[in-house]
Amino acid sequence: MRDYWHSLTSREQLLISFAGALASLVLVYFLVLRPLQIHAADSERALQAAQNTLRTVQMRVAQLQATVDAVSNRADGGAPVSLRVAVSQAARNAGVSISRLQPSDDGTLTVWVDSSQSTALYQWLQTLAEEQGVGPSNVLLQKNSSGDGLRAQVRFVGIAE
C-alpha cells in the first residue's frame, strides 16, 4: 500500500487526502452531529409538552382549590351552605325556575324544572359545579310539548337539609 501511495504524484496524493478528509467530515456530520441535533430537537419538544402539562395541572389544581374553598365557604369564614340552599341560589342566579324540590332520607335532592332555556339550565349546572362543587348524579331532559325550552329532573347526591 505504501508503494502505491508513493507511486502517486503529489497532486494525486493531495486529491486523495482531500477526498478522505471530506468523507471523514460527512461521516462525522451524519454519524455524530445530525443525531445530536435530532435529539436536541426531540428534547425541546418533550420539554414544551411537559411545561404545557404542568401549566394544565396547575390550572386544574387552582380550579379544584377554588371549588373546595367554595364548598367549605372558607373564603368568608361562614358555615357551609346546604345543598338545598346552594341549588336554589344557583338556579335563581341562572334564571332557572324550580317547580319542585324533594329531599330524601338517603341524602339526595331531586329538583324539577318545568320550563327553562337550555343555556340557562346548563349555566345553572355549571355554576353549581364550579362554585359549590356540586354535580348532578342523574339528569333527565325533555323538550317541552310547546316546543320552547326544556323540562328537567335533576338528582343531586349530598346532604339535603
**Would the pLDDT of 149 be above 90?**
no
Alpha-carbon distances of 52 from 40, 42, 48, 64, rounded to whole Å:
18, 15, 6, 18
User: pTM of the entire structure?
Assistant: 0.48
**Would the pLDDT of 16 be above 50?**
yes
**Would the pLDDT of 161 be above 70?**
no
Q: How distant is the alpha carbon of residue 117 from its chain centre? A: 28
The predicted structure's pLDDT at residue 75 = 44
3-state secondary structure of 42: helix
Q: Are 121 and 152 in contact (CB under 8 A)?
A: yes
Indicate the range of 79-83, 125-129, 154-158 predicted with least confidence: 79-83
- The torsion angles phi and psi of 150, rounded to 5 degrees, stand at -125, 155
Alpha-carbon distance 1 to 44, whole Å?
A: 48
The predicted structure's pLDDT at residue 146 = 75
The predicted structure's pLDDT at residue 160 = 38
Alpha-carbon distance 22 to 74, whole Å?
A: 72
Q: How distant is the alpha carbon of residue 70 from its chain centre? A: 21
The predicted structure's pLDDT at residue 79 = 53
Alpha-carbon distances of 40 from 33, 35, 45, rounded to whole Å:
11, 9, 9
Model confidence over 18-71: pLDDT tens digits? 999 999 999 999 999 999 999 999 999 999 999 999 999 999 888 887 776 666
**Would the pLDDT of 80 be above 60?**
no
